[in-house]
Structure 1
Amino acid sequence: MTSSPEKSAAKSADPVDSLVLHATDNHVSWITLNRPEALNAITPDQRERLIQHLSHASCDPGVRAVVITATGRGFCAGADLRGGPPTGGPQAGGPQAGEQVAGEQVAGERVAGEQVAGEQVAGERVAGDVARMIRLGAQRLIGAVLDCEKPVIAAVNGTAAGLGAHLALACDLVLAADSAKFIEVFVRRGLVPDGGGAYLLPRLIGPQRTKELMFFGDALTAADAARLGLVNRVVPADDLEKTARDWAERLATGPTRALALTKQLVNASLDTDRTTAFAAEAAAQEINMTTTDANEGVAAFTERRTPHYRGR
């Protein structure tokens, strides 16, 4: 997928900026994975840049919606740690020497340069390394999507495998090209799903369907993903960018703080009891009623006009 925001993205001396393109257009932050030759498998540096963009989107009042997409024929083939630890070193907050990739493979072809679990990148693995790597790596990325204070749309242009599938499914809305596929690839390598998959999927499609996908690791077409409820809408590949833009710009004209609070309530609802959920709902409405947009929405209703939200 090649979008106009990519073309307008500012050039930077940081090579990671060419691998994770970013531009803001009409209050929409476009984040584009740009390693098409590797089916957009994510390196540690790319992961950190994704987290950074999502964090900035949360605190930037000029951003009111986010789209995550990719170039080429793949959305994201999963984790590719061939580049080693983040260039920021131990202070970068990500996994360090000894990281290993979950052996992602798409359509029978291994991503160039990747390493299979069990092959060490550097040093000797000790107890706790893998758990730390997952916690500080893939889980941080998925958490950044779930915790982003702006609505996040995944525009899935091709295959989303392993962590790539979970990156898409963590988004608030998922659009998929009709050629896209979703693959819980971990079982093919004898691995446990990571990147929040065992948390996300049961909440989206229930435990039985989740186990079917994770036990067999079969590719799921975009149409089947929509049928199961993993995808909001499937569109022709040529219409994916336009549809994502239409949805994102519609969200960007909405009551931004109300959407953020709504996202928090829905995401938390399956992890709590009714009493706690009702209390959270009441508190969220109390907070929301202090915003300019809430006052505008009520005023527009009583005055029988279309509201004009400012994201405040």
Structure 2
Amino acid sequence: MSTVLVESQNNISYIYLNRAERYNAINKEMLEELLRVVETVEKNEDSIVILAGKGKAFSAGGDVGMMKDFADSAFFDGIMKTIERIVLKLYMMPKIVISALQGSAAGLGLSLALTADYVIAQRESKLGVLFMGIGLAPDGGGHFLLKERLGIHQAKQFIWGMKQVDASQAKEMGLVDIITDKQVMEEATEVGNKLLATPLTAALKTKEMYHSTQKETLRYYLEEEAKTQWKLRNTDDHQEGVQAFLEKRKPKFIGK
């Protein structure tokens, strides 16, 4: 079964994360499939891209099981390079990108969602960075994307807080653009159709001007995040965070 699905309807490309039974936790296979899909969608004729998750969540973040293999430097480097390519392509996509969130959008899942031009969330959604809960720092461009939406001071505190916020709080903070009581895909499609009735070529020139000036800054953050995760993977706190997660208990961090 494919871990990423894609379809095209009425000038809108729909990309679905498809590990519903794992709340769309992102593993190596999903990352590789997502990169292939994003590369394909980038070149098609559609003007709108909607990024969503199948099942009850957008994405619970990186699959903790995958992190047990991070001791292998080749495996780790491959994962981080794939993440970098996906994030840069989504951020620089020459189309309007909409993230459609239901349930949880956490960790790497939240980073992917924030690459979008519009973030739409069902009222019951929960958004959180949560990397520090397993002794890691954000990746997937999370530092850059949070800074862009929240500013540095609030971004730091949100990262450090290790908490999820509901859609209303997220909108007040600036993480979410639209809250809906409808099914999120219905709302996202309506927004996409409204955008298709606007001068999109002009809109995309505005996006290009803003994003092209930030591309190298985003790349810097992605590269620094990869270096940071490589260092943090051996800390006592990361090992404790992963073990506590697997054992479904509260971690006991020691700051090392």
How much has 1:135 moved relative to structure 2?
A: 3.7
Which of 179, 187, 190 is equivalent to 2:135? 190
Quick check: which has more Rg, 1 or 2?
1
- 1:6-52 deviation digits (Å, cap 9, x = unpaired): xxxxxxxxx32xx3222111100011112111001122232232223
Q: List aligned pairs for 1:1-312, cutoff 5 A.
A: 15-16=1-2, 19-61=3-45, 63-80=46-63, 103=64, 114-115=65-66, 117=67, 119-120=68-69, 125-126=72-73, 130=76, 132-133=77-78, 135-236=80-181, 238-268=182-212
3-state DSSP class of the match of 1:262? helix
How far apart, in 1, do the equivalents of 2:111 and 2:184 lie?
Answer: 19
- Distance verdict in 2 for CA 1:145–1:271, change over 3 Å: closer
RMSD between aligned residues? 2.1
In structure 1, list runs of 5 or more residues that go unmatched.
Answer: 1-14, 81-102, 104-113, 273-312
- Distance verdict in 2 for CA 1:49–1:255, change over 3 Å: farther
Number of equivalences: 216
How far apart, in 2, do the equivalents of 1:254 and 1:52 lie?
Answer: 29
3-state DSSP class of the match of 1:50? helix
Alignment identity in percent? 29
How much has 1:201 moved relative to structure 2?
A: 0.6
How much has 1:239 moved relative to structure 2?
A: 3.5
- Distance verdict in 2 for CA 1:252–1:56, change over 3 Å: farther
How far apart, in 1, do the equivalents of 2:196 and 2:36 lie?
Answer: 20
Higher relative CO (Cα under 8 Å, sequence separation at least 6) belongs to: 2
In structure 2, list runs of 5 or more residues that go unmatched.
Answer: 217-256
- 1:126-175 deviation digits (Å, cap 9, x = unpaired): 5x864x24541222221121011111000001101110001111111000
**Residue type matched to 2:102 in 1?**
N
Provide TM-score, normalisation by structure 1: 0.64
**Residue type matched to 2:120 in 1?**
L
How far apart, in 1, do the equivalents of 2:91 and 2:195 lie?
Answer: 17
Provide TM-score, normalisation by structure 2: 0.77
CA contact (8 A) 1:55 1:148 kept: no
CA contact (8 A) 2:100 2:120 kept: yes
How much has 1:259 moved relative to structure 2?
A: 2.8
CA contact (8 A) 1:55 1:144 kept: yes
CA contact (8 A) 1:174 1:231 kept: yes
More helix by share: 2
How far apart, in 1, do the equivalents of 2:199 and 2:30 lie?
Answer: 31
- Distance verdict in 2 for CA 1:55–1:270, change over 3 Å: closer
**Residue type matched to 2:17 in 1?**
L
How much has 1:269 moved relative to structure 2?
A: 5.0
- 1:238-279 deviation digits (Å, cap 9, x = unpaired): 34222111111222343343333221212245689xxxxxxx
